[in-house]
Amino acid sequence: MKRPMVIFLAFLIFGIIWGGLNLDPAWFIIISASALAAGIIFSLFFKMKGLVLLSVFFILGFVLSYYKTHPMNYICDGIAESKINCTFTGDVTDVNLKYITVKADDFGVYGKTDRKVKIICYTNESFSIGDTLQIHGRLNTLSPKYNPSDFDEMQYYGCKGIRYKVFEPNISLIKHNNTFFYYMYKLRKSIENSLDSMYNAENAGILKAMLLGNKEYLTDDIKTLYKNAGIYHILAISGLHISLIAAALMLIFRKRSQSIIIICLLFAYSLFTGLSPSAVRAALMMSILIIGRLLGRRYDILSSICFSAFILLIFNPMYISDCSFLYSYGSVIGIALFAKPFSDLFNKIPGKSRIKTYIAISVGTSLSAVIITKIMNMWFFYSFTVYDCITNLFVIPTVFIAIFCGVFSILFYALGIKLYLIFTFGANLVLSYYKLIASIVLKIPFGVITTGKPTFAFAALYIMAIIALGLALYNKRKSVALLSLALFSLGIILNTLPKLSTEIAYLYVGQGDGVIARAGGKIFAVDGGGTKEEIEEADEGTYTMLTYLNYIGENKIDCAFVSHIDNDHMKGIYELIGQTDIGEIYLPAGDYTSELYTAFLEKAEKYNVPITYLSKGDKIEFNKNMYLECLSPSENADAENVNDTSMVIKFFDGNNSFLFTGDISAETEKGLLNEDLKADVLKVAHHGSKYSSSKAFLAEVSPSVAVISCGKNNVYGFPSEETVNNLDSFNIPYYVTSETGAVIVKSANNKIKVQHVIK
């Protein structure tokens, strides 16, 4: 069998995916037995002994995945569900700026677990790897995704084997252990301190990422700049770094018998930098190359890729959905499949010179590295960069200079030799060059395209287009190349087709309201949440509203409505000003005063966003059948009680109607009873407060669905028992965002379809 590792890996992946599904033990037994039986039957009838092995790999993947995704930490789960404080003892295994990670198995009065459990403890106190701590606090499970565009905490930390977290614990040091990992940690901290002494904060953060794999110190500006320019990959310990280190080691250890030293040092460096999937993948592939040369065997890059992936997935099957793992393998598979044909294609350009050949190879390699990762970029970050091939053409050849200068500046600084200043100057020069190149590229129009999360149809067509492109390049058939282009074009068309139905997302913004709606080719927002008191502190507008806009492939808002000036409604919209294009902002009529309100008006003026004040009777028409109507407040309303002067909006999309009520009380509801309140979907007033949602009001609205937006474990006890009982008395189905996550309502053909993120 040619390249058996490709088939072995495929069956392992099938098993991992199947094991990650939520199946009960009976199905587990049936599937495992069926897979083994199928392998035996096929091997007997078709005399293919390898099929039994394929069944074994499928079952192995299933078992490993099921074990990882269904951990049975009964003691910890029980403690977390009880929502009471506990005391446990654990050893520190990782230290970050905002938290430490401990491994614990002794939970005091609750007993010991059968295996050590990893727990994140958020603390400002200083501890080091090797410390044994006694920790007192409330054990929480990792948070699920509350919005479809949210950071996936369970997936990210799950890959690291972490299942629980504790906020603001009381911690006492029991003892310190001088372990091997402690000395490694101390060495890392010493190098980081040296970088801080030699470089400014920005460049020190970049070098910590490039040399040590620590991205904690990267500024938000640098992260955004490097990502948008398509050079963020140089900050990850990957094949580029491992290749440079291997080349340097080969100059030192030239004897074939010393190859084992090179391999050991490569893995030691991977361990030192945190064992990221990309680093381990590169170290494994380089080791296979070195061992193959020792044995006189030809190196096959696809088999090497599959073998390294096989090892990593056995070690941690949850890598199958890890962004770093997928990016690393996506880029290297692209290089393996397309680097040579792309380079040959570009090399056919008329002219003969070494520069032309170098450019052809560089462009071909760069293009092949991103051809697969583009779809991943869309999947994880809802956008992709256009000119990254150009940027990398200028950046990649100089990465070794940055690494070389960074390493020798650290070495000479540690030895107290002033020569480190020369290398510091060199590293600063290269990093300034990166910043200049990235800034220039980003000034070119359409450098970053917001795509939204791709549809399944687009993803399938994109993969088919890549396969067709590969066949066209290797078989040199123009017809297949045209098929590839046609598939890709069809995918883009399907992904960008305008949405015919109305889609209104009641997002989870903590204790607040935040809605983004897409209807009739327009995007509008109603409130934006806001949980932090500091006006300029990044909040729900940046982390939830803007991210969701990108998730649906939008980079503008046609109109934004702010129901009233409280932080938990207004601050998110305030943040969006300047971060995305806003056509117009609508505020409730009235004379209001607050620090946020004043800053809001000033920022809107700075960015030339017009503000219109709405009062009862005002109407905004999107088209003949689609409009928003303001039902409250009246033009001369008393602005002293900002909740009761909340803007009440009724939106009609030609099929169904939606009522947004801000934070009005039952008193204001009473004054609205003469209005046409009938609506299919009601946003329940004031987060489900007992002072709102009176029976008379609910009877008049008579919604098919109600949505309550409130924060998890909020101190107000929202939604109140009274409101819930009132909804139940009218048999109105309701969704609470703190329990269901974002509620997405789709309206078409006079029908309402409701989806929510947390099942």
**Strands laid side by side in the 502-506 sheet:** 611-614, 581-588, 556-561, 522-528, 514-519, 502-506, 743-748, 751-756
pLDDT band at 27 (very low <50, low <70, confident <90, very high): low
> β-pairing, 705-708 with 681-683?
parallel
Greatest C-alpha distance within the chain: 92
Checking if the pLDDT of 650 tops 90, the result is yes
> Average of pLDDT values for 23-51?
63
What phi-psi label fits residue 166: left (phi over 0), alpha (psi between -120 and 50 degrees) or beta?
Answer: beta
CATH number of 502-756: 3.60.15.10
| pLDDT, tens only, 113-172 | 888 899 999 999 999 999 999 999 999 999 889 999 999 898 889 888 898 999 999 999
Alpha helices (H) along 508-625: 540, 546-551, 567-576, 595-606
Cα–Cα nearest to 448, from 223, 228, 227 = 228
For residue 641, name the pLDDT band (cuts at 50, 70, 90).
Answer: confident
Q: Do 205 and 222 contact (CB within 8 A), yes or no?
A: yes
Q: Which helix H or strand E contains 82, and what residues bound it?
A: helix 74-82
HEC letters along 314-345: HHCHHHHHCHHHHHHHHHHHHHHHHHHHHHHH
pLDDT at 48: 56
Rounded CA-CA distance 211/614 in Å is 56
**How many C-beta atoms lie closer than 10 Å to residue 458's C-beta?**
22
Tokens 């000033």 -> residue: 602
The label of the residue with tokens 């056509």 reads 583
Q: CA geometry: angle at 276 spanning 270 and 277, to 5°?
A: 110
Which residues, listed in sequence order, are joined to residue 383 by a DSSP beta bridge? 450
pLDDT (tens digit per residue) in 465-476: 888 888 888 877
- How would residue 731 be classed by pLDDT, with cut points 50, 70 and 90? very high
For residue 527 the two structure tokens come to 């409130």
The rounded radius of gyration (Å) of the Cα atoms in the chain is 29
How far is the C-alpha of 64 from the C-alpha of 159, rounded, in Å? 13
Query: Between these two residues, 296 and 411, which has the higher pLDDT value?
Result: 411
The residue whose two tokens read 């098919």 is: 704
Neighbour tally for 127: CB within 10 Å? 16
In the block, which residue shows the tokens 């009246």?
Answer: 634
Mean pLDDT for the stretch of residues 289-308: 87
Q: Give the whole-angstrom CA distance, residue 45 versus residue 39.
A: 10
**pLDDT over 90, % of the chain:** 54
| Per-residue pLDDT at 214 exceeds 60 | yes
What are φ and ψ of residue 211, in 5° steps? -100, -30
pLDDT at 42: 60
User: How is 552-572 classified by DSSP, letter by letter?
Assistant: TT--EEEEEE-S-SSHHHHHH
Taking the C-alpha atoms of residue 528 and residue 586, their distance in angstroms, rounded to an integer, is 13
Q: Is 567:579 a contact under the CB 8 Å cutoff?
A: no
- Of 137 and 370, which is predicted with more confidence? 137
> What CATH number is given for 74-177 in this structure?
2.40.50.320
Give the lowest-confidence range in 43-52, 184-193, 493-502, 721-730.
Answer: 43-52
> How far is Cα of residue 476 from the mean position of the Cα atoms in its chain?
38
Q: Which helix (H) or strand (E) holds 50?
A: helix 50-69
**Torsional sign, CA 304, 310, 312, 317:** positive
- Read off the amino acid at residue 36: L
Average pLDDT, integer, range 88-101: 93
Whole-number Cα distances in Å, 133 to 128, 136, 233, 427, 619: 10, 10, 36, 40, 62
pLDDT higher than 70, residue 63: yes
pLDDT value for 22: 64
195's tokens? 């970088």
Q: Yes or no: say if 119 and 87 are a contact pair by the CB < 8 Å rule.
A: no
d(CA 239, CA 121): 33
Query: In this structure, are residues 553 and 497 in contact, taking their beta carbons and an 8 Å threshold?
Result: no
pLDDT digits (tens, 9 = 90+) for 511-564: 999 999 999 889 999 999 998 888 988 889 999 999 999 999 998 999 999 999
Q: If we measure between CA atoms, which residue out of 412, 394, 400 comes closest to residue 195?
A: 412
> How far is the CA of 7 from the CAs of 58, 66, 234, in angstroms?
11, 21, 31
**Are 532 and 685 a contacting pair, CB within 8 Å?**
no
- Residue-level pLDDT at 56: 80
Q: For the ranges 63-77, 371-385, 696-710, which has the lowest average pLDDT?
A: 63-77
Residue 738, Cβ neighbours under 10 Å: how many? 21
Which of the given ranges, 68-77, 205-214, 340-349, 456-465, has the highest pLDDT on average? Answer: 205-214
Q: 25 is written with which tokens?
A: 């033990």
CB 266 within 8 A of CB 242: yes
DSSP letter (8 states) at residue 471: H
**Tens digit of pLDDT for each residue in 189-212?**
999 999 999 999 999 999 999 999
- Confidence class for position 351, pLDDT limits 50, 70, 90: low
Written as six digits, the tokens of 106 are 């002794």
Q: Provide the residue count of the chain.
A: 759
Which pLDDT does position 39 carry in this prediction? 61
Instruction: Give tens-digit pLDDT for 683-730.
Output: 999 999 999 999 999 999 999 999 999 999 899 999 999 999 999 999
- Residue 296: band (very low, low, confident or very high) from pLDDT cuts 50, 70, 90: confident
For 68, other C-beta atoms within 10 Å of its C-beta total 18
The tokens for 321 are 């959905």
Token readout for 424 is 């510091």
Q: What is the pLDDT of residues 662-673, one digit of tens each?
A: 999 999 999 999
More confident residue, 41 or 328: 328
Tens-place pLDDT, residues 416-460: 999 999 999 999 999 999 999 999 988 888 888 888 999 888 888
Q: What angle do CA 123, 124, 127 make, to 5 degrees?
A: 80
* pLDDT score recorded for residue 580: 94
- For CA atoms 378, 380, 386, 388, give the dihedral sign: negative
| pLDDT mean across residues, the chain | 89
**pLDDT exceeds cutoff 90 at 217:** yes
